[in-house]
Amino acid sequence: MARQQKINYFTNLEKKSMFELKYKTPFEWTKVVIENFDEFLQDHAGAEKKASGMAMGMLGHYPDKIKLVRAMTDLAIEEMIHFKQVVKLLNERGETLGRDKKDDYVKLIRTIIRQGKDHYLLDRLIVAGVIEARGHERFSLVAQALSEGKEKEFYVAIAKSEEKHKNLFIELACEYYDEKRVMARLDEVLTFEAEICMKLPFTAALH
Ligand SMILES: [Fe+2]
Ligand SMILES: [Fe+2]
């Protein structure tokens, strides 16, 4: 029976779980990024590496959840491929991978995660989905701002990929929790995330 329930997490993601961020990143952010593009790429590489580590952390935490383990395995690999691609862009520009920097945005958004068996996974999945959504928004802005070429093409592809990840996390949340509950909590997290974005300064970093 279990074998028959073929897992196809990527098939119906598009129809379900679409949501909008509540804060729109202004052009000032994109301007800082484009003017300090090497620095941005170094930060972006670090963000991809951390995203991969997060996916591995999730699957290690919930080894009994088949769908989650499979999805997080794919995600960890995909984020490391992104990492490799960003490092390649850096090297082609004569730059190296930078040191990891602290990410106040991620630190702050994670404070909304409630402890306790009933909430923890739900909140982790929703927060991860919102972080991916912000990545999708900002990589899209970078893609639009770059002039034609390899780097622009890369950011167009990255933005698409992060949009897929955004939906994946909400889809997973709906797998383990009632959809109404997921959507209600998502709304709260989106409000909280918008407040964080308003507070943080614009630097040549994803967040
Ligand atoms: Fe990524
Ligand atoms: Fe991602």
Distance 5 CA to ligand 2 centre (A): 26
Q: Please tell me the distance between residue 163's alpha carbon and the centre of ligand 2 in angstroms.
A: 8
Ligand 1 ion local residues (Cβ < 5 A): 48, 79, 82
Question: Does residue 49 sit within a domain?
Answer: yes
In a domain, 4, yes or no: no
Number of domains in the chain: 1
Please give the chain's pLDDT, 207 residues, in tens: 344 343 444 444 444 447 999 999 999 999 999 999 999 999 999 999 999 999 999 999 999 999 999 999 999 999 999 999 999 999 999 999 999 989 999 999 999 999 998 899 999 999 999 999 999 999 999 999 999 999 999 999 999 999 999 999 999 999 999 999 999 999 999 999 999 999 999 999 999
Residue type, 111: T
Q: Are 206 and 106 in contact (CB under 8 A)?
A: no
Residue 71 lies in a domain: yes
**d(C-alpha 187, C-alpha 168), whole Å:** 17
Residue 34: domain span: 29-199
Q: Is residue 5 part of a domain?
A: no
**DSSP state letters, 99-138:** -----HHHHHHGGGPPPSTTTHHHHHHHHHHHHHHHHHHH
Residue 80 lies in a domain: yes
Please tell me whether the overall predicted TM-score, pTM, comes out greater than 0.95 for this model. no
Residue 132 lies in a domain: yes
**CATH assignment at residue 173:** 1.20.1260.10
